[in-house]
Amino acid sequence: MFTYILYFMVGSKPTAEAFFIMVFILMMVAFASISMALAIEADHATRRVMDIYFICMLIVSVLTLFLGTMASRLLWLQYFSIAYYGFTALQHNEFLERNFCTALSTTLSLKCPNYVICSGEEFLTIQDIDLSPWGFWKNHMALAILMIIFLTIAYLRMLLLKKYS
């Protein structure tokens, strides 16, 4: 209920398709995070590796909001972040095919006057987000792959645990 109320309160796309895609993205992020928590708690040896991953992911999650300020040698770390894929998919869902300058005619130029971002496509291009359908669904696939990796780690670690009788 909270998501439903908040979605329309903040002025997101008023379509059912965009709403259910947003719910799907949030569920994928939640499932990937839960599977990461399962992998962290599976065993003490795994916990150390997963703690390092979790700390790096938190640091990168903050930096992925401003990719232009991130050091180029650390830019590859964003591809291991659950939040990066979720946030990118949410941006793609929300900004694609949106026009924020309805009073201005943007047919003559791709850029609006006075450095105003008028279209969602322009914003996504500035953020270096691929506008194609694959650019959108690759985020979901990456979240699913991370989820499978974490669940596999948790399963293998629990399988190898000594059974106490």
For the chain, what is the HEC assignment? CHHHHHHHHCCCCCCHHHHHHHHHHHHHHHHHHHHHHHHHCCCHHHHHHHHHHHHHHHHHHHHHHHHHHCCHHHHHHHHHCHHHHHHHHHHHHHHCCCECCCCCCCCCCCCCHHHCCCEHHHHHHHCCCCCCHHHHHHHHHHHHHHHHHHHHHHHHHHHHCCCCC
Does residue 67 register a pLDDT over 60? no
Q: Is residue 156 part of a domain?
A: yes
Q: Is residue 127 part of a domain?
A: yes
pLDDT at 42: 65
Higher local confidence (pLDDT), 32 or 68: 32
pLDDT at 59: 67
Range of the domain at 141: 2-160
Higher local confidence (pLDDT), 74 or 144: 144
Q: Read off the pTM.
A: 0.74
Average pLDDT over residues 119-140: 82
Q: Is residue 37 part of a domain?
A: yes
pLDDT at 165: 44
Q: Which residue has the tokens 């006057």?
A: 113
pLDDT in tens, 123-132: 777 777 888 8
pLDDT at 28: 93
Does residue 41 register a pLDDT over 70? yes
Higher local confidence (pLDDT), 92 or 119: 92
Q: Is residue 123 part of a domain?
A: yes
Q: Is residue 27 part of a domain?
A: yes
Q: Is residue 165 part of a domain?
A: no
pLDDT at 108: 47
Does residue 151 register a pLDDT over 60? yes
Q: How many domains does the chain have?
A: 1
